[in-house]
Chain A
């Protein structure tokens, strides 16, 4: 047998095996098994972690270069107009299941009690970068707006999009009220750059990178994620099937 035909045979049988494997791994039974695994991870992690704080680092640990990823410059004209005016008349909306919807300017947000933390950003792909973030604890904002008892999730609506589909993310209230969960306007002592999500991004330090929504324009409290976009609670969850629980 020549090398070529042996290779062809190997590739052929490999291909058969693979397509069989792939059919198996994408079957409804497999999918329900996988979501069972995700639920197990979420429940177990919640149980053992409680309100524990994510590790914080010292200034010497900060990454020399913090790469930008995801969208690095939203294209919506309304957003670009805000960039041009230095976000002077930009407002953060807090609404949904709240008693008092709010619209807060950047100056207002900066005047509230702040939290500064040096934390690690972990991309779902595997890389990590450390930076110092300063911002307003989300708990304070939700308290100010008066979260209603039926609210279960905080949804972050963003100014960026992928081919016209807006970016959004969601976390449950346990994560939203965690003391390290902040809406950051400052990174490493500088106002947030456009690449990193100006003027405001979420830092939810016990979750992976795709939860750290950039260009946050609106925080909406909801009782269910079902009726938002694809219904899975986030852009990457809807688009690529990423797990909603991003704690691992």
Chain B
């Protein structure tokens, strides 16, 4: 144990509305992804355009030939047995391990998906209002003029690829790539998920026909919804990897209590 003098400072890094939103989301996003995968299982084919069913061309399909699972994409079939199409002895696109519920039940999955959607939308609206009014969006997530320069971004990408995360004073704030990741989820992926989700509802199509047209039809909306969900899953994977790299206990403390210990500067 280092003497107190040499320990780097503990700072209040994350305020309570951000922490609350994070943990509500952590739960909701998993409910959405897992029930969404079960809904996808009901018709594991994706199309572009206004319509699309079994006799139409699917740009992506997850299926099985007997006990062999496959993913068909770009005119080619990739074997995925044990992961997609056929896994755990069950012929479903996504296996029981990752779906909600774990056995095939479209009605229950839809129930969870729509309850989760209400939670997601309500908490997102509250969070966006807070982020705008408190200055969190501008102060903590906005990129400074300096950070926006291509050279600075390239440098940051290089640092991330070498897994050299900011330390000391530099770790007081989010780094540029981190800000971009959060901003794209907050302002692009989540809004697009909600918009495409609404565009799949026949009643909402009557209320908001421009939304349906803007997204290129219901089956396009369904495809974009799936791709955005994939983007969310990738974001979560990278997010968790970064938490582990940056020091999971310190990060978990920061997201639970707000207090974050600045990682000490590297020895020269």
Contacts and interface: CB of A to CB of B under 8 A. Distances in A.
Contacts of B56: 63-65
A163 interface: no
Nearest to B50: A61
Contacts of A1: none
A81 interface: no
Interface stretch (B93-101, B134-142, B157-165, B253-261): B93-101
Interface in A35-69: 35-38, 40-41, 45, 48-50, 52-55, 57, 61, 63-67
A35 B206 CA distance: 24
Contacts of B102: 18-19, 21-22
Given A128-B218, A206-B206, 18 more contacts: A22-B101, A25-B101, A34-B111, A35-B111, A41-B118, A45-B204, A64-B56, A120-B51, A124-B106, A126-B40, A126-B43, A127-B54, A207-B202, A240-B105, A240-B106, A241-B107, A242-B106, A248-B204
A18 B51 CA distance: 35
Main secondary structure of the interface of B (DSSP, over half): helix
B101 A247 contact: no
Nearest to B219: A128
Interface residues of A, number: 52
Interface in B211-256: 212, 218-219, 222
Interface in B35-59: 39-40, 42-43, 45, 50-56
A21 B218 contact: no
Contacts of A80: none
Interface in B67-118: 88, 96-97, 100-103, 105-108, 110-112, 114-115, 118
Interface residues of B, number: 42
Contacts of B218: 120, 122, 128
Nearest to B82: A7
Contact of B110 (A19, A122, A124): A124
28 contacts: A18-B96, A25-B100, A25-B112, A26-B101, A35-B111, A38-B114, A41-B114, A45-B201, A53-B206, A55-B205, A55-B212, A61-B51, A63-B53, A66-B53, A120-B202, A122-B218, A127-B45, A127-B52, A127-B54, A128-B52, A128-B218, A130-B50, A206-B203, A206-B206, A241-B105, A243-B111, A247-B201, A248-B202
Interface in A97-129: 120, 122-129
